[in-house]
Structure 1
Amino acid sequence: MPDQPFSLDQLRIVLIGTSHPGNIGAVARAMKNMGLADLALVAPRCEVQTSESISRASGADALLVGSSLHESLDDAVADATLVVGASARSRTLPWPMISPRQLGAALPAELSRPEARVALVFGREDAGLTNAELQRCHRHVHIPTNTEFSSLNLAAAVQVLSYECRLAWLDAGDTAPARQTAMAKGTAPAGEAPFGEAPFGVEWDNPPASHADLERYFAHLERVLVAIGFHDPERPRQLMARLRRLYLRARPDSLEISILRGILTAIEKHTGRR
């Protein structure tokens, strides 16, 4: 197989509040089918390693043993540079929405840096992801199911997205030699430059900000906005949600986040409110 421009190990499946061990086992099987191995569990509402989960894993029980447990979504995706939440519900506040195919198409650019990580987040079987959890995602992905029967089993949803990721991985490997030749000759098409990368692997000057970097910035921003009287937590009017949407859509890099936090610190010093 040709050299791959990214690794499937850079993809993480995150399950929040899963209530049935059989579903965790079935997710492990779906992941192993497609070559994914990084499984993170956030506050599961059941035992992870049971006879049923092992049975449903059908030989992929090593993923159950190796899964990481987290108390919060922030912990599970702290190092992720792109967080994508699976959602079947429309929202009162529109958010950037992509299809599973668009998700796969974005992966070669998103994961061209070895330290990059993409987290695919799935919610509870009975209620999905909360609004607060979805607002921690850069993008939402929607599987275009039959509108008259749209509910997907958790493992089935993971299987669909994992399949698209694997297809993108295989396609990227098939086209890598031709792309490298075109780059060497200077004949590679310009295409659309994805975030953080110029076309065909010419690196951006700084890596994307991680989820943890962004969350520290949002906490700092809200603190300053409250201190200067711009934001009233008792009457939020979706202000922080809209600011989250703005910055997550913009995809700032690590240096840009440092600059923005420096501006906030200067405001605190100037107003004497630090």
Structure 2
Amino acid sequence: MTEPSSPTDDSSTPSDPTRRTPPAVAVVDAQSPGNVGTIARAMKNFGFEDLLLIDPPELDPEGEAYGFAGHAREDVLPNATEITFDELVSNYHTIGCTAVTNEDDRSHVRFPFSTPADLADRLPTVEAPTALVFGRERVGLTNEELAEIDEICSIPADEEYPVLNLGQAATVTLYELRTLTLAGDETQLPDLERVRAPEETVDRLYDQWGDLLEEINHPEEKREKTMRMLRRIYGRADLTAREANTLLGLLRRATERPER
């Protein structure tokens, strides 16, 4: 596996549509090497290249992962990068893929959510380092991890049994997002409409919200839920740098002059 590097190392002009890269695929704490190989194969099927692994199992070139990877054993799998979860959420706009557990707008851990088809419509017009995040085979992503993730994606399935296994979930999601990677018509990469604000700017926005909630004595027991709600709102809004900086200025003034 390769050493971690910043997703923003590319020095190309950010507004150049030709440098737009598909989302990375991140797998958190997979237990089965075979599932990692299956995900790598799905990435190869649908044109995705950047595989990020958080606490992965051992991936023996003679073992199950490479056996399940098909032609992805030649590039996607050996070029995977091992990183920490903190590095993931700090450097990427993260989209957590999870089953919905009957939550509604009163809870913001697994709600609101987009389907993969929704993302396929929206992501082609947004430039930013983005990662699709898949969790463990048995429990998926924990609520603590989802609280750090920018937005949620869920595959529509039968309400009596909505849970897909890890390899299936990744394959279905990447299939729906294939238009981000596979050429075939002139609309595969439409003209860039907006460039998402850098993650460090959005993080400063969250910090400023935290300061404001403290300054106005927002009930302490409600602050964590309020911050999750704001993260979900901004995660779906695709704020530009100008929008984020304008909001930062307004929030800073509100924090410094609450009596007015």
TM-score, with length taken from structure 1: 0.71
- The residue number in structure 1 matching 2:9 is none
Q: State the 1:23 CA deviation.
A: 1.4
- Cα distance 1:270–1:102, how it changes in 2: closer, same or farther (>3 A)? closer
**Aligned residue-pair number:** 235
Q: SS in structure 2 opposite 1:128?
A: coil
Q: State the 1:174 CA deviation.
A: 0.9
Match for residue 238 of structure 2 among 248, 251, 259: 251
- The residue number in structure 1 matching 2:6 is none
- The residue number in structure 2 matching 1:242 is 229
Q: SS in structure 2 opposite 1:107?
A: helix
Confirm or deny that 1:106 pairs with 2:122. yes
Structure 1: gaps (5+ residues) = 180-199
Contact 1:6 1:108 in 2 (8 A): no
- The residue number in structure 1 matching 2:11 is none
Name segments (4+ residues, structure 1) moved above 6 Å. Answer: 5-8
Q: SS in structure 2 opposite 1:121?
A: strand
Confirm or deny that 1:86 pairs with 2:59. no
Structure 2: gaps (5+ residues) = 1-16
Contact 2:197 2:240 in 1 (8 A): yes
CA RMSD of aligned residues (A): 3.1
Q: SS in structure 2 opposite 1:221?
A: helix
Confirm or deny that 1:42 pairs with 2:54. yes
Deviations along 1:110-163, whole A, 9 cap, x unmatched? 2xx4xx333211111111122343344443222123334433221111111111
Q: SS in structure 1 opposite 2:53?
A: strand
Query: Within 5 A, what are the aligned runs for 1:118-157?
Result: 118-157=130-169
- The residue number in structure 1 matching 2:206 is 218
**Alpha-carbon distance between aligned partners in 1 of 2:193 and 2:65, rounded to the nearest angstrom:** 42
TM-score, with length taken from structure 2: 0.75
**Alpha-carbon distance between aligned partners in 1 of 2:224 and 2:90, rounded to the nearest angstrom:** 27
Q: State the 1:238 CA deviation.
A: 1.8
Contact 1:135 1:245 in 2 (8 A): no
Larger radius of gyration: 1
- Cα distance 1:6–1:105, how it changes in 2: closer, same or farther (>3 A)? farther
Confirm or deny that 1:160 pairs with 2:179. no
**Alpha-carbon distance between aligned partners in 1 of 2:112 and 2:46, rounded to the nearest angstrom:** 26
**Alpha-carbon distance between aligned partners in 1 of 2:91 and 2:84, rounded to the nearest angstrom:** 15
Contact 2:151 2:232 in 1 (8 A): no
- The residue number in structure 1 matching 2:88 is 76
- Cα distance 1:216–1:21, how it changes in 2: closer, same or farther (>3 A)? farther
Deviations along 1:16-70, whole A, 9 cap, x unmatched? 12122221122111111222110111233x2244622222223323323211222
- The residue number in structure 1 matching 2:112 is 96
Percent of pairs identical after alignment?
32
- Cα distance 1:216–1:7, how it changes in 2: closer, same or farther (>3 A)? same
Match for residue 186 of structure 2 among 170, 175, 178: 175
**Alpha-carbon distance between aligned partners in 2 of 1:249 and 1:166, rounded to the nearest angstrom:** 20
